[in-house]
Each structure stands twice: as C-alpha cells, then as structure tokens.
C-alpha cells in the first residue's frame, strides 16, 4: 500500500478481516482501505468480492499488483522437523499446498483471519511445534525465525490488491472499471445479453466471474472487469443500457490500471 500515491503520509491501521476493512471505509472510520481481490495461483478472493457486491456502496479507487513471497515462521529454537501445526490464512496455505505436502506432510493446517494474525498468534503461543505461513516482514515484527523461505508453489505468485474509498477516481485514459451484474431470473441468453452490450461497443473485458447471490441455490451474479472509465461514453452507455435490461448493475469502481511487476 505504501507504494500508492494515495498512501503518502497515511497512518496505517491493521484490521482483522476484509469485511472489517470495508465497513471501516463505509462508516468513515478510515479514509481508505486496502484488500486483496485476486491471486495468480488461487484466483479471486471471494470474501472481497462478496463484501463489495453485497456491502455498503464504496468505490475501488486504485489497484496494485505485488509479488507474494511466503515463508514458514517459527519461534526461536524450533526447526522444520519439529513442526506439527501450521496456522495461516487459507488463501496463503493454498498458494503453498505442494510445498507443504513435500516438506511437512503430517502437519495440521489451521485457518487464521490473516497471515499477520497467524504470525502474531504463533509468537504469543511460544510453542516449538507451531509455525505460521506469512511474510518475512511479519516474522521480524513478531520476533519469529524464518524456517523456510519462498515456499509458494509458483515463483510468479502475485496478488492484486484494490484500494477502497468513497469517491470515484478521475479518468486517466488508462483505466479499468469493475461492475457486478444481477439478473432478475436465470433464463437462456442472460449472460450473452450482458456481454453483447460490451462487444457491440468494442469494450475489452479483462475478467468475468460468477458468484452465488446468496438468495437461492443456482442463482448467480456476474463480476466483470473492463478496460475504460465509467465516465467515458462507451462504458457509460453500456452500463446505462444494461440497467434497462437486467435487475441491477452496481459499479464497484473506475480506477487506473496497474501494470504487473513482471510485465
């Protein structure tokens, strides 16, 4: 987050979960919030998608893509062969699944709200048999030793984070818009009708994903990322046209596109 211009001079406040961050921004308790939305190994962070789609109306103001390097962190004096229990966020452990199966196949994996929380809890426990998966920085902050570094299953592992705020970012000419589309009822051609609005205006879609609406089994909404800003005529007209045809279109934000560090 510190690499974003909007973060210059900001006071950083850690919160326990993604919904906590979203609520803090929505209630005005924080000026902005940074949350993970997509990982190159595990795909979308569903709790973030749900918080944006079904929570209070806040905007994605910026995005940043960062390489992710995970480490096994333990208390001083332990070693990898002593570890029987590992704590971390499920997304992090999933990114290291192959390594864990090779290096600590009998270790029990426990879910934490975040990698930082896992490191904090392992440090507080002080048990030689417990370890956390997190960043080396988290290990330093909580006085843990690095038992194994760079344990992610793919060296290109990267996560896309989005900055949340109350106001839509101004157009820069190199933007992305994220929306979620709700249809009134499932019927043949519903998704095709949505996609036509963008293809007819030559709007490039960079992501399309469905998520349950949480109302009834088999009902889904569609998350769409596209090139362009919601205030630009092609995107604006596509969204306006969609609103006459489906139940709801919620604009999650328009913001400058981030370049992948490895691009």
Closest CA to 96 of 81, 116, 115: 115
Closest CA to 31 of 166, 191, 144: 166
Query: Which tokens is 38 given?
Result: 């997509």
Pick the catalytic residue from 115, 161, 198, 222.
Answer: 161
Q: Is 198 a catalytic residue?
A: no
As a whole number of angstroms, the distance between CA 134 and CA 180 comes to: 31
Pick the catalytic residue from 135, 159, 198, 223.
Answer: 159
Q: Is 223 a catalytic residue?
A: no
Active centre residues (catalytic): 159, 161
């Amino acid at each position: 987050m510190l690499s974003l211009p909007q973060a210059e001079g900001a006071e950083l406040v850690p919160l326990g979960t993604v919904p906590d961050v979203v609520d803090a921004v929505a209630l005005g308790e924080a000026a902005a919030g940074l949350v993970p939305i997509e990982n190159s190994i595990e795909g979308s962070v569903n709790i973030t998608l749900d918080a944006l789609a079904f929570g209070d109306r806040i905007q994605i103001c910026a995005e940043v893509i960062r390489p992710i390097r995970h480490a096994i962190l333990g208390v001083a004096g332990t070693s990898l062969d002593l570890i029987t229990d590992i704590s971390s966020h499920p997304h992090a452990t999933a990114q290291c699944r192959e390594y864990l199966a090779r290096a600590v196949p009998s270790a029990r994996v426990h879910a934490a709200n975040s990698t930082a929380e896992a490191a904090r809890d392992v440090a507080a426990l002080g048990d030689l048999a417990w370890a956390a998966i997190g960043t080396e920085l988290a290990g330093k902050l909580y006085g843990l030793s690095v038992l194994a570094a760079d344990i992610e299953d793919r060296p290109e592992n990267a996560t896309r984070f989005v900055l949340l705020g109350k106001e839509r970012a101004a157009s820069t000419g190199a933007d992305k818009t994220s929306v979620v589309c709700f249809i009134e009822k499932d019927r043949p051609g519903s998704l095709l009708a949505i996609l036509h609005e963008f293809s007819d205006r030559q709007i490039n879609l960079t992501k399309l994903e469905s998520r349950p609406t949480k109302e009834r089994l088999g009902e889904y909404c569609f998350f769409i990322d596209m090139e362009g800003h919601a205030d630009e005529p092609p995107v604006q007209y596509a969204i306006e046209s969609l609103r006459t045809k489906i139940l709801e279109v919620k604009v999650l934000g328009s913001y400058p596109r981030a370049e992948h560090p490895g691009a």
